[in-house]
Amino acid sequence: MRKILLSTMLLAISLMFPPLALAAASAPAAAQPPKGVVAGEHAEHVEPANAGAAVGRGGMAGGDGGPASWTAFPMLKTRMGGEGRERRVVTVIPQNILTNSIDAYSNNAGDAKGHRQLPLEMAGARLDKPESGGFHWLAARAELADKVRVASTVYFFSDRGGQNPTALFMQQKHELQIIPQPYPREHSRYRANEDWKFLVHFNGKPLVGQTVFMETANDSKVELVSDAQGVITVHIPDDFKAETRQKAAGSHEHARRSADFVLATEHAEGGKSYLTAFNASYGKDAFDQRSLAMGLGFTLLGMIGAAPLLRQRKKPAADTTNHKDA
Tell me the C-alpha distance between 35 and 23, whole Å: 17
Which residues partner with 187 through β-bridges? none
Q: How confident is the model at residue 255 (pLDDT cuts 50, 70, 90)?
A: very low
Q: What is the pLDDT of residue 276?
A: 98
Q: How confident is the model at residue 166 (pLDDT cuts 50, 70, 90)?
A: confident
Tell me the C-alpha distance between 112 and 302, whole Å: 61
Q: What is the pLDDT of residue 86?
A: 62
What secondary structure letter does DSSP report for 193? T
pLDDT at 108 over 80: no
Tell me the C-alpha distance between 64 and 72, whole Å: 10
Tell me the C-alpha distance between 220 and 293, whole Å: 29
Q: What is the pLDDT of residue 311?
A: 62
Q: How confident is the model at residue 51 (pLDDT cuts 50, 70, 90)?
A: very low
Residue 279, judged by CB atoms within 10 A of its CB (0-12, 13-18, 19+), counts as: buried
What is the per-residue pLDDT across 122-160, written as a single tens digit (0 to 9) for each? 999 999 876 666 889 999 999 999 999 999 999 988 755
